[in-house]
Amino acid sequence: MGSKKKARVDTPTPQGRPAKSTTMSKYTAADITVLEGLDPVRKRPGMYIGGVGSAGLHHLVWEIVDNSIDEAMNGHASDVSVTLHKDGQSVTVTDNGRGIPVGIHPKHKKSALELIFTTLHAGGKFDGGNYKTSGGLHGVGASVVNALSSRLVAKVKRDGAEWEMEFRAGVPVGKLKKLGPARGTGTSIWFRPDPTIFPKIEFSADLIRERLEVASFLHRGLRVHFIDEVGGQKYDFFQEGGLSDFLARLVQTANKKPVHEQPFALSREIDESRLEVAFRWTEATDETIRSYVNGIPTGSGGTHENGLRGGLVKAVRNYIETHNLAPRGVSITAEDIREGLVGIISVFVPDPQFQGQTKDRLNNPEVQSLVDSAVRPALEQWLNSNRTAAEQIVARIILAARAREASRAASAQITRKTATSGRLTLPGKLSDCLATDRSGTELFIVEGDSAGGSAKQGRDRNTQAILPLRGKVLNTEGLSLAKVLENKEIADLITALGCGVGTSFDISKLRYQRVILLADADSDGNHITTLLLTLLYRHLPELIKSGRVYLAVPPLYRIDIGKETYWAADDADKERILKEKAKGNGKADITRFKGLGEMMPKVLWDTTLNPKTRRLLRVEVQDALETDRVINELMGKDASARFRFIMERAEQAEELDV
């Protein structure tokens, strides 16, 4: 299963990931005599684990877990167990592998275990190149974790005995101790991150559980256990089906309807690399691909994903052409072919190069051709021997092509209208702002005519435009763009935005700097906001991704105490104000607003519109897959759940004063 690579020396990248070694020429496995202390790690932890926030903190766990997984992937261990201890601040990782060697290194006169935990860049130089890893890569993180732990205890069972060694801030406390005779073999590492390095030490059981479960999918046959002492839960992860099981799970949780029965799956070992792919077409209108390199998630994709897309599109195209399946007059694009696709790709490669701001995009060009040339013939063959599935998939693709052409016709119509030379044909009910320069301008999308009226009177007409929406906004989830544009309210909204939609979308044509959704602070208002966000997320996603979309926060209460007036956005806010301001200042007079419509224009300005005093929430998508799943799930059926969704969304949104 593992690669046949020799032991190697790896330099962690700033993200703590092994990158192509730059030290190989300086050190060889035999002559690492220069011991590097762990000081550099404690001085610049970010260089080794990316940072000292939550991600860096969890990185410690991943490093230790990866070592145990490597031991299992090389066939020496069957089980890896992780315990999050009751205090939420310490973790134990145990495996039933060979046990870290405890013999004394002839040159250093120290045990191999001590060297592994105290030497930077030490990875498997103690066994004549015996230390292979799943990707030929990991196993150097132990010293980094040790350096960043206020205390670490390593226990090893091997050679008929149990051994123990303790460290503080990376420095050994005493010698390697023989505890007594013991059966079996294995390694157990307990550590507590150093509070002088990590400002907040709070492990997330959810994060650990998810990572471990994914590991069990990526490493077929591996048994992973998670004991969450904080939440009092135990989990055992074991996936015989590997990626195919993972795919089934993804399709199900995203609530997507599969187009064909059996997923396509492929597993290959090519030279020193390993490749596993599984995908399936669904009726969803988007594409979802999860990718991993050496067990590490690559959220920004890269060459492995590109290879998958390329090979897949070529295979399908070739199938359609050789069987002459494309209807006359319909041209099929790569996007049509990939519409509704849900897929996973996992590669194990010897020298992964990561790039991008978050170092989560694979950059090795050879991986692209490797994946492409493995997927293409395998998929073509699969299509040819699974005729029913092939027919269903091709029908799905032709549907996508037709829908796209219909949408283009509809959006071109809107764009034409928008682009009319000279003055634009703006919707009649839009109260536009006067400014000719876009910077600082805002479009408020307001629920209802009466609220629209107050907003129109209360606004700064130089920079603020108001577009009132009548009645309920159309639920656009699952609708084609052509259908969406048949709706007059939405067509007007897109015309007012000026940036077009679908293939003719162009953010540089957006007529305002910000787009602000303004709805009542009640469940009806939340519903409308959710419907609008669904529209924007599905059909104008760039608007959200570029950070242009905001939620206004109108007050729910007016609180008069003596001569002062305060505004509260919600009940918690109200309680806080009463507690802080009412003391000794007489009786508080509380008014609950029924809706924006009954608010005086001046009040609306003071509380909600005035950039100097208002609050705005910027809408952000933190996890595209999760957002996709939530929208799909909620906008389809359960209406009451939408309220919850939007409230959670608002809480996650970053609060801004703009």
| Active centre residues (catalytic) | 447, 520, 522, 524
SS3 227: strand
Three-state DSSP class for residue 228? strand
**Judged by CB, which is closer to ligand 0RA: 187, or 495?**
187
Find the binder of ligand 0RA among 127, 269, 283, 575 (CB under 6 A).
127
Q: How far is the CB of 100 from ligand 0RA (least distance, A)?
A: 5
Residues 6+ apart with CB under 8 A from 232: none
Task: Please pick, from the candidates 18, 101, 301, 498, the single residue that binds ligand 0RA as defined by CB under 6 A.
Answer: 101
- Find the shortest distance in angstroms from Cβ 212 to ligand 0RA: 15
Which contiguous run of DSSP H or E holds residue 16?
A: none
Of 596, 611, 606, nearest in space to 656 by CA: 611
Q: Of 71 and 380, which CB lies nearer to ligand 0RA in the complex structure?
A: 71
206 — phi, psi (to 5°)?
-60, -45
Name the one range near ligand 0RA by CB under 6 A: 122-130, 212-220, 363-371, 410-418.
122-130
Q: Find the shortest distance in angstroms from Cβ 59 to ligand 0RA.
A: 16
How many residues of this chain interact with ligand 0RA, rule: CB under 6 A?
14
One residue of 49, 100, 289, 374 binding ligand 0RA per CB under 6 A = 100
Tell me how far, at minimum, the Cβ of 263 lies from ligand 0RA, in Å: 34
Smallest separation (angstroms) from ligand 0RA to the CB of 190: 13
User: Is 310 a residue that touches ligand 0RA (CB under 6 A)?
Assistant: no
71 vs 351 by CB, closer to ligand 0RA: 71
Q: Are 579 and 436 in contact (CB under 8 A)?
A: no
Tokens of 183: 């059966």
Cβ closest to ligand 0RA, residue 62 vs residue 512:
62
Contact between 2 and ligand 0RA by CB under 6 A: the answer reads no
Rounded to the nearest 10 degrees, the angle between the axes of helix 488-497 and helix 387-418 is: 60
The string of DSSP letters for 510-525 reads -SSSEEEEE--SSHHH
Query: Three-class SS of residue 145?
Result: helix
Distance CA 398, CA 390 (A): 12
Binding part of the chain for ligand 0RA, among 96-104, 212-220, 448-456, 528-536 by CB under 6 A, reads 96-104
* Binder among 16, 124, 498, 525 for ligand 0RA (CB under 6 A): 124
- Interaction between residue 98 and ligand 0RA (CB under 6 A): yes
DSSP-assigned letters across all residues of 449-518? HHHHHHHHHHS-TTTEEEEEE-SPPP--TT--HHHHHTSHHHHHHHHHH-S--GGG--GGG-SSSEEEEE
Q: Taking the complex as a whole, how short is the minimal distance between the CB of residue 7 and ligand 0RA, in angstroms?
A: 9
Kindly state the smallest distance separating residue 158's Cβ from ligand 0RA, in Å: 7
Q: Which of 83, 187, 216, 303 binds ligand 0RA (CB under 6 A)?
A: 187
Cβ neighbors of 241 (< 8 A, separation 6 or more) are 220, 248
Point out which span in 66-74, 368-376, 397-405, 574-582 binds ligand 0RA (CB under 6 A).
66-74
Determine, following the binding rule CB under 6 A, whether residue 95 of this chain makes contact with ligand 0RA: yes
* Cα distance between residue 603 and residue 567, in whole Å: 10
Beta carbon nearer to ligand 0RA, 100 or 147: 100
User: What is the footprint of ligand 0RA within residues 68-87 (CB under 6 A)?
Assistant: 68, 71
Give the nearer residue to ligand 0RA in terms of CB position, either 83 or 607.
83
CA distance 96 to 187: 7
DSSP line for 166-189: EEETTEEEEEEEEEEE--S-EEEE
Residue 306 to residues 267, 281, 289, 458, Cα–Cα distance (Å): 17, 18, 11, 51
Which part of the chain contacts ligand 0RA (CB under 6 A), choosing from 9-17, 124-132, 339-347, 412-420? 124-132
Coil, helix or strand at residue 589: strand
Q: Which of 18, 45, 97, 295 binds ligand 0RA (CB under 6 A)?
A: 97
Query: Closest CB to ligand 0RA among 99 and 340?
Result: 99
Under the binding rule (CB under 6 A), the answer on residue 295 touching ligand 0RA is no
* Distance in angstroms (rounded) separating the CA atoms of residues 524 and 516: 17
Considering the complex, what minimum distance in angstroms separates the CB of residue 162 from ligand 0RA? Answer: 14
Residue 523 as a binder of ligand 0RA (CB under 6 A): the answer is no
542 within 8 A of 549, measured Cβ to Cβ: no
Rule CB under 6 A: say whether 18 interacts with ligand 0RA: no
Candidate residues 22, 28, 130, 253; the one interacting with ligand 0RA per rule CB under 6 A: 130
CA dihedral (342, 348, 351, 357) positive or negative: positive
**What's the CA gap between 533 and 515, in Å, rounded?**
11
- Provide the minimum distance between the beta carbon of 184 and ligand 0RA in the complex, in angstroms, as a whole number: 13
* Residues that bind ligand 0RA in the complex, under the rule CB under 6 A: 67-68, 71, 95, 97-98, 100-101, 124, 126-127, 130-131, 187
